[in-house]
């Protein structure tokens, strides 16, 4: 069974993004990980949460773009 829920997303959300400081922190964590540096458990959790948030913003932006007139 598949359930589809349509939600209207305000057009202003297409400009939603991580604040510069938060995006920089995420990039730092990802860069360290890419370089083979071990992240602490807290840093790994932080990075995962920030990636999830960035993905959610991207989803909202895509929805807003689809609904744009």
Q: Which residue has the higher pLDDT, 32 or 6?
A: 32
pLDDT at 3 over 80: no
**pTM across the whole model:** 0.75
Closest by alpha carbon to 23, among 50, 4, 55? Answer: 50
Contact status, residue 60 vs residue 9, Cβ threshold 8 Å: yes
Q: Where exactly are the structural domains of the chain?
A: 15-67
Contact status, residue 13 vs residue 60, Cβ threshold 8 Å: yes
pLDDT digits (tens, 9 = 90+) for 10-66: 666 767 788 999 999 999 999 999 999 999 999 999 999 999 999 988 888 888 777
pLDDT at 6 over 90: no
Residue 26 is predicted with a pLDDT of: 96
């Amino acid at each position: 069974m598949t359930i589809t829920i349509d939600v209207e997303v305000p057009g202003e959300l297409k400009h939603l993004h991580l604040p510069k400081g938060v995006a920089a922190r995420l990039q730092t964590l990802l860069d360290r990980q890419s370089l083979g540096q071990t992240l602490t458990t807290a840093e790994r959790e932080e990075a995962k949460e920030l990636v999830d948030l960035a993905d959610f913003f991207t989803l909202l932006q895509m929805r807003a773009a689809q609904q744009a007139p």
